[in-house]
Chains A and B, each alone.
Chain A
Amino acid sequence: MPETQQKHGEIIISVENLEHSYKDFKAVDGISFSVKKGEIFSFLGPNGAGKSTAINILITLLAKQKGTASVAGFDVTRDPQKVRESIGIVFQDITLDRDMTVWEILEFHGRLYNMPFEQRRKRIEELLNLVELAAKRDERTKHLSGGMKRRLEIARGLMTRPKVLFLDEPTIGLDPQTRLRMWEYIKGVNSEGTTIFLTTHYMDEADQLSDRISIIDHGRIVISGKPWELKNTLGRDLIYLETNNNEAAVRFLKDLPSIRNMKVKSKGFVLMVNEDGSKVLPLIIDTLRNAGIEISTINLKKPSMDDVFVFYTGREIRDEGHAKTSFRRAGGR
């Protein structure tokens, strides 16, 4: 992939052994990673995994405690000013003044970053068209829908043509259709050269959008890689089985050559296989039948990001944070 290589050369975010504690709770526990220029890079993890703490350090809102971190070539502690000039941010919660108009939100932001008058006016027009809010320019933000607010925030994040755009849970609380459109915008922005650093707890979002993902849990990076690489670590296919004697079944199957790993679940177990699962199935069925074990359920599928996550963190993602947020938003309207 020569095109990808050219696109992903230079390192734009570099983090080493970053640690951050709140009193005796270690929110970020020694993470290291780097993001290349032009990439979409994701932090995938449950709420409370340390994603927001890490992002707050990178965007200079939180002072670094241990380790090193640099963004766009500038150290976040030594040169916070330069970092701030180089980045755009879309925060996790909606951060729009309810009583300012769409146009004023962008104008205010441009002025905060000291953009010259002409450039500001021109950029606002471009962005309003990009996020399809030109017709809403004089509308106060409290009258916008959730999706429009998010689009406006993305436009604001892009106002200063940042080298890196940070998106903290960009589609939290949005309906599925709006999420898909948000993904299109994010991809569009990226294709014009902006590096994107994204945090999410949605598996599909990380999978669909990212060039590379780091799965983060309890303040640590559990594994990093391209989405397909992560899925491939679980093998080519996953086979789920329920039998009348799971323990014995696992014992008989674990030495089959094509089986790379297995994982016991509450009612059954999962086999990760190295080959085409449909070719391995007859062998598995024969083996169990010969051992006198009865199969009650059998299921074959490709590994998904959810499977990757469960495998590396040992649990399903907790989604109560999302439910809470959407409840709060709905109530606030």
Chain B
Amino acid sequence: MPYGFTTIYWRDMIRFVRFKTLLVSSLLQPALWLAFFGIAMSSSFDKLITGLPVVPGVHMIGYLTFMGAGIIAMTTLFTSLFGGIVILFDKNWGLMREILASPMNRNHIIFGIGLSGVTKSFIQAIIIMVFGILIGAAFFSGFTAVQTVVGVFGILAFVGMFALGFLFLSAAIAISMESPEGLQGVITLLTMPIFFASNALYPIDSFPAFLKILSVYNPMTLLITGIRYFAIGPDFIALGKHYQYTQSDILMAYFGLVVFATLTFGLAYWRFRKAVVT
């Protein structure tokens, strides 16, 4: 049955559009982050960095543009880590029994949840990009039309792979847990280091060595690197730091995300094989 995951996807999307408050808040929340945190931070940061040396010929970007990429990543992280919670609800309300007693392969549950999470993340990423540009983030500035299209697809490719990795992780945790409170605890515990040990809000170069190593291999950093490459360009200055990315940097970052998603899928696969829901 090769299309079983579309059934899971269909149902999860029904729930997404049917819970109006959830729908509106999940679309509004990233925009609010950008509006309040972004504008507040950038107005003070941009003042601080005036007077820092400028490299001639290199495009200098404001803080809003810099952290806009971080907000896309953060939103994707939150949405994905919570994406598996539906599995826990289904389990606790007995709905998972119908699915597990059906002939459908259990991998399709994982893929279905993954696909619907990716869809939600795409919608959110696009909203942030559009809203960011509206309030003054210099995404795709100086790009040709073709470069912009490539940029958007590049960002979505990174967002999608990153989202899958964390959705699989979330599904693996959810199928193993008993209570939504426990799941919430674990997820909160995970989001902190993943978000702050990354280049979302500040450069990681001045981190102490230990934190720096963590940050370099953090999937969050890989994602943000990809987003900045496709939204801003391979060569820019932000917060007084000169960023330069080569194509192989970007390929390696993407490869890192693929490895991460493969590992978390393996974890989810194992947890779903083990799951007994009666």
Contact = CB atoms under 8 A, between A and B. Distances in A.
Contacts of B276: 61-63
Interface in A77-102: 81, 84-85, 87, 89, 91, 93-97, 99-100
A96 to B, nearest CB: 8
B94 A95 contact: yes
A81 B101 contact: no
A112 B10 contact: no
Contacts of B10: 108, 111
Contacts of B104: 112-114
A297 to B, nearest CB: 47
Nearest to A99: B18
B7 A99 contact: no
A56 interface: yes
Contact of A109 (B18, B98, B100): B98
Contacts of B11: 97, 100, 104, 108
Interface string B169-185: 00000000000000000
Interface string A55-68: 01001111100000
Nearest to A87: B101
Nearest to B103: A84
Contact of B19 (A52, A94, A95, A99): A99
Nearest to A63: B276
A106 to B, nearest CB: 12
Nearest to A166: B101
The winner among A87, A108, A111 for most chain B CB atoms within 10 A is A111
The winner among B11, B102, B103 for most chain A CB atoms within 10 A is B103
B23 to A, nearest CB: 13
B15 A99 contact: yes
Contacts of B99: 112
B94 A85 contact: no
Contact of B100 (A61, A87, A94, A108): A61
Nearest to B18: A99
B14 A100 contact: yes
Nearest to A82: B103
Interface residues on A, range: 20 to 34
Contacts of A99: 14-15, 18-19
Interface residues of B, number: 24
Contacts of A62: 276, 278
A60 B101 CA distance: 7
B278 A56 contact: yes
B234 interface: no
Given A95-B98, A99-B19, A112-B7, A81 B278 contact: no
B4 interface: yes
Contacts of B100: 61
Nearest to A56: B278
Nearest to A81: B103
A56 B6 CA distance: 27
A91 B94 contact: yes
A59 B101 contact: yes
B4 A114 contact: yes
The winner among A85, A94, A114, A156 for most chain B CB atoms within 10 A is A114
Contacts of B277: 61
A168 to B, nearest CB: 10
A270 B14 CA distance: 61
A104 B14 contact: yes
B1 interface: yes
A93 B278 CA distance: 11
A95 B98 CA distance: 8
B77 to A, nearest CB: 26
Contacts of A59: 101
B15 A61 contact: no
A324 B1 CA distance: 41
B93 interface: yes
Contacts of A81: 103
A91 B100 CA distance: 13
B97 A61 contact: yes
B94 A93 contact: yes
B11 to A, nearest CB: 6
Interface string A238-250: 0000000000000
A272 B15 CA distance: 60
A61 B96 CA distance: 11
22 contacts: A61-B97, A61-B276, A62-B278, A84-B102, A89-B97, A89-B101, A94-B94, A95-B93, A95-B98, A96-B95, A99-B18, A99-B19, A100-B11, A100-B14, A104-B11, A104-B14, A108-B7, A111-B6, A112-B4, A112-B98, A112-B99, A113-B104
Interface of A: 52, 56, 59-63, 81, 84-85, 87, 89, 91, 93-97, 99-100, 104, 108-109, 111-114, 156
Given A84-B101, A114-B104, 13 more contacts: A60-B101, A61-B101, A62-B276, A63-B276, A84-B103, A89-B101, A95-B94, A97-B15, A97-B95, A99-B15, A108-B7, A112-B99, A114-B4
Nearest 7 A/B pairs, CB to CB? A111-B7, A95-B94, A112-B102, A84-B103, A114-B1, A56-B278, A85-B103
Interface of B: 1, 4, 6-7, 10-11, 14-15, 18-19, 93-95, 97-104, 276-278
